[in-house]
Structure formats: structure tokens, C-alpha cells
Structure 1
Amino acid sequence: MNTLFIFLLLSTISSTLGQESPDPVRDIDGNLLQSGTEYYILPVVRGMGGGLTLGPRSDDLCPLDVVQENLEVDNGLPLTFTPVDPKKGIIQESTDLNIIFQAQSICVQSNVWGLVEYEGHRIVSASGTPGNPGSETINNWFNIRKFDDHYKLVYCPTVCSICRPVCGDIGVKIDENGTRRLAISDVPFKIMFKKV
């Protein structure tokens, strides 16, 4: 019995030691992305719009969704990142996090990103719920993954062990009004991060 216990203990320790922690995410200056620090999310490809901001979903002013500025010179609004474990100060690749605009609007909403259904698409809204990881907040968790030499945003939360979310890359869909709306897409939005 003692031999079995020691074997299981050593197996657990060796498998834990063999797991590598995710790489940290870096901004355009090569610095580590920090939780709670304000950044702009900018496109890597020049001439394909500017940074991210808030925009109306339809003719109604509210709610506001996550959209891309049309002009490349516009950085958009600053955002912060909060990992699922708020004690972690460094943002790491492929780990769940809330993305939150640091701006005020006339709409009564949280500015936390969340995935919602709209006209047959899964779009990114700014009316999610911060923190509280679990099935009730499954739509509010995103992660950052390496994409070529830069990054992309992905919806594939792991905060709920019994949930089975339909994962997907976040891309830009241009609607009939020319609004560049963030949504689940087959073409990922290649991005970089610039400290405010």
C-alpha cells in the first residue's frame, strides 16, 4: 500500500513538473502585458482600419458592441485585461481573461466583452459580466493566442468544466453600413498591443 501511494505521488509530481506554463503576451515594445494596465488593441495589417472602440448595434444607440475604427490613425479606446485568476499580474497566452474597455458611455452597460447572437452571427458586445468564472459567465471569457509573429483573439473559454462552448477565432465582419464589427470568423483578426 505504501509503495502504491509513493508511486502515485511521484507520478503526479512528475506530470506536474512536465507541464510548461503558457508564454506571456508581449506588447509592440516587447514588454509583458500586465493585468489592469491600459492598452490599445491595434491591427497588424496596415490600411485595414484602426483600433477597437464601442459602436451601436443598430439604429438604436444602445447596447454598444466592439467595433473597429475605420481610420488607421485612430487607436480606439483603451482596454484592460483581467485573467481568470485576478492575482496573476502577467497576461499569458491561451488563458481565460475578461477584456474591458476603460471608457464611459451613455449606455448603462459594463464595457466587459461578451459574445452574443445578432442577426445570425456571434458578435462581441460590451455588456458582459466581469469575473465570477462559471457557466453563467461563459460568454465573457476570451484568450490571446500567438498568430504568426503576432496575436489573435479567441473565444474558447475553459472556466466551466461542464460547458461545451463552440470555440472560434475573433475576426472583423463588415456589415451593410460599413461598420467593422468583431465577431466569430474564419479569418482571425491579427493584432498587436500598444500601452496607453
Structure 2
Amino acid sequence: MKSTTMLELLFLLALLSQPLPGTAKASPDQVLDVLGKKLRVDADYYIIPANGGEISLESSIGESCPLHVLVVKHSQGFPLRIAPVKGAIRVSTDLNIMLANYDSRCPNYSVVWKIDLFSKEETFVTTNGVLGHPGSNSILSWFKIEKYEDAYKLVYCPTVCPSCKHACKDIGIYVYKNREMRLALTNIPLKVKFQEA
């Protein structure tokens, strides 16, 4: 009799620990800046690499547009705007990253980041992406922010494309032509923090 009551109690506890059908899952954590404040969709931020430098946009040596996203030492960097697919800026959710202001160097290109399939070996982060509109024409423009050690990292792994899971990769640094530290798909993530501009 006593063992039956104990089994019933354990079963009841297990049942109560399960989410009820139709209830929403808890939302992922919101991304925080260096001061511990939640990132806002109406604010501009600097993405600060943990090992120093700033995120900048530059045309490549011998090229003009689109602009490449680089880590540059001894530079102010550019303020960026982060636009989630919906709601607040949260970890593990699709979002666009873009220059906060117009850039006259490439007037016919958008300032939204995207993955540029430069070659089979090199996949860089550049501009001229598509803002919003989840679908096949914007698939290369969706990024995520993930927790990484005591900071964050950027990844390319768009949930808006369920069949793209095989393409998930960290954003890190690729030293291009022994000079430019370009952001690219890599096996070693770039640890970053966010500071309001």
C-alpha cells in the first residue's frame, strides 16, 4: 500500500513537471551589453571583440563593393543596429545586423550584413544583405548571437531555413592576404561584447 502511494506521488510529480499542452516555451535570454543592460532594437551598438580592435567596414584591397566586415586595430569602429526577426534581441534567435548609418562608399548596396560565398574555402561577412523578409532571397542575411564563455559569439545558423542546419558555423576571423582580419565562417568563434554607441 505504501509503495503504491509513493509510485503515485512520483508519477504525479513527473506529470506536473511537464509543460501543459499549448503552453509556450520560455523565451531565450535577452542579450546584454557591457553594462548588463538588455540590448534594444531602437539603439545602436558597437560590437567589441574580446581580444581588442573594433568592427569596421572596408572595401578590400583592389575591390570596391560590397564592403567587407573586418576587425581593425586602432579604429573607432562603426555603430551597428541589430534587428531581430521578431520581438526583443535574444540569444539563439534570427536577426539582421546592419550599419546604423548610410555609407556613401557603396551607394547602390545595402548596409545589411550577409554571408558572401567568396569561394569554396572562404566565406566572408560582407554588406548588401536583405533586411527582414525571411525566405530564400534573404537566407544569407540571418545571424544569431549565442552565449560564449563570459561573453557572446556570432553564428550563421538561420532558423528561418530549417534545411540549413548543416550550414551552421561560427563567425570568426580569417586573415586575408596576410593583412585584413575579415569576419568569416570559421571553426574558431570570435568572442564579442556589445557597447551602446
| Coarse TM-score class (shorter-chain normalised) | 0.7 to 0.9
SS of structure 2 residue aligned to 1:152: strand
Q: Which has the larger radius of gyration?
A: 2
**1:9 aligned residue:** none
Q: Are 1:44 and 2:44 counterparts? A: no
- What does residue 4 of structure 2 align with? none
2: CA distance between counterparts of 1:185 and 1:15? Answer: 39
Match of 1:193 in 2: 194
CA distance in 2, matches of 1:144, 1:40: 14
The answer (yes or no) to whether the contact 1:172–1:185 under 8 Å persists in 2 is yes
Counterpart of 2:179 in structure 1 is 178
| Distance change (3 Å), C-alpha of 1:70 and 1:18 | same
Q: Deviations over 1:63-108 (max 9, x none)?
A: 211111122xx330000011111xx2x2100000000112313212
Cα 1:16–1:151 shift into 2, 3 Å? farther
34, 39, 48: which is aligned to 2:40? Answer: 34
Structure 1 partner of 2:136: 135
- Residue in 1 that maps onto 2:82: 81
> Hey, what's the Cα distance between the residues in 1 that align with 2:145 and 2:100?
19
* Aligned-partner residue type, residue 159 of structure 2: T
SS at match of 1:118: coil
Aligned length: 177
Percent identity for Structure 1 against Structure 2: 39
Q: Which residue of 2 aligns with 1:99?
A: 97
Shift of 1:160: 2.7
- Contact 1:153 1:170 (C-alpha < 8 Å) held by counterparts: yes
Structure 2: distance between partners of 1:165 and 1:142: 15
Structure 2 Cα separation of the partners of residues 183 and 193 of structure 1: 19
1:54–1:67 CA contact under 8 A, matched in 2: yes
Distance 1:40 1:20 in 2: 28
TM-score by length of 2: 0.83
C-alpha contact (below 8 Å) 1:42/1:75 kept by paired residues: no
Match runs of 1:116-155 below 5 Å: 116-119=116-119, 120-155=121-156
Q: Say which SS state the counterpart of residue 139 (structure 1) adopts.
A: helix
**What CA RMSD, in Å, does the superposition of the two structures yield over aligned residues?**
1.9
Counterpart secondary structure, 1:184: strand
Q: After the TM superposition, which parts of structure 1 deviate over 6 Å for at least 4 consecutive aligned residues? A: none
Provide Cα deviations, 1:157-180, integer angstroms capped at 9, x if missing partner.
Answer: 011345555010000111114111
Give the aligned partner of residue 114 of structure 2.
Answer: 114
The one-letter code sitting in structure 1 at the alignment partner of 2:113 is W
Question: Does structure 2 conserve the Cα–Cα contact (< 8 Å) formed by 1:70 and 1:180?
Answer: no
TM-aligned CA distance change 1:154 to 1:16, over 3 Å:
farther
- TM-score after normalising by structure 1: 0.84
Mark the runs of 5 or more structure 2 residues left unpaired by the alignment.
1-18
